Amino acid sequence: MKIGIFDSGLGGLIILQEIIKQLPQYDYVYLGDNARTPYGNRSQEVIYDFTRQAVDFLFKKDCQLIIIACNTASAEALRKIQQQWLPKNYPDRRVLGVIRPVVEKAVEVSGGKIGVIGTKATINSQAYIKEIAKLKSEIEVIQQATPLLVPLVEEGWQKSAINRKILRKYLRPLKLSKIDTLILGCTHYPILYKPIQSIVGKRIKVLHSGQIVAESLADYLVRHPEIEEKLDKKINYKFFVTDWSEHYQKLGQTWFGKDIKFEKVELR
């Protein structure tokens, strides 16, 4: 059986790349719902429906364990999938998100003031605020919705002057609030890691979610040998998207860092 990685677009390829660096021995299936990205401006009901379709697709592709790499889906759909849908449909399989491991790392390194940037849905869900409060209630959390970043990254404009101008505007309130740690609350944002770190300055620790999620998955498999022993170790990777074009093909290969072949599928 395989490990599935799901994202609303192609940003999850960065998460997968980091996971493969640490755990190269397993088989992986990637699904990007790029036909319907971004999820961040949609209702909770629609986000749940889209996420459930994606998870069901990956389980039918023989995945034992799925990482929902999308922060919006993790915030708005993960709990319902874990508690209601999974026990009825795939009780012997597991679905994990990306918010909890990043929060654990942020709380570990922060001096008391954490900033979060993410889509409108992720910010409005207050998922990061709630998770941080569970671990360390005295930490102050300052959030900033950054809805323009996903479409800019998906268009490949991350190095453009307009992107840097927008980043400065989004990050200014967080800098003025004197945060000491910044969570990139979207899988697309590590692509902007360098300009974000440059703008906020060295005093602020910018967390790379890909590395953190990969470390968390490695630890999870050690703690759950009953799942790990079911996983195939043929080093076989498959990539699915809900929309295909030359643009997406080039973008995916650039972000993943290797030649990959996307297969177009329809979710329902």
Active-site residue list: 70, 186
Q: What is the DSSP string of 10-79?
A: STHHHHHHHHHHH-TTS-EEEEE-TTS---TTS-HHHHHHHHHHHHHHHHHTTEEEEEE--HHHHHHTHH
Exposure string over 190-204, b if 16+ CB within 10 A, otherwise e? bbbbebbeebbeeeb
Q: Which residue has the tokens 């093909």?
A: 249
Enumerate the H helices of 98-181 as residue ranges: 99-109, 120-125, 127-135, 149-154, 161-176
Give phi and psi for 115, each to the nearest 5. -105, 150
Quick check: 32 and 40 in contact, CB under 8 A?
Answer: no
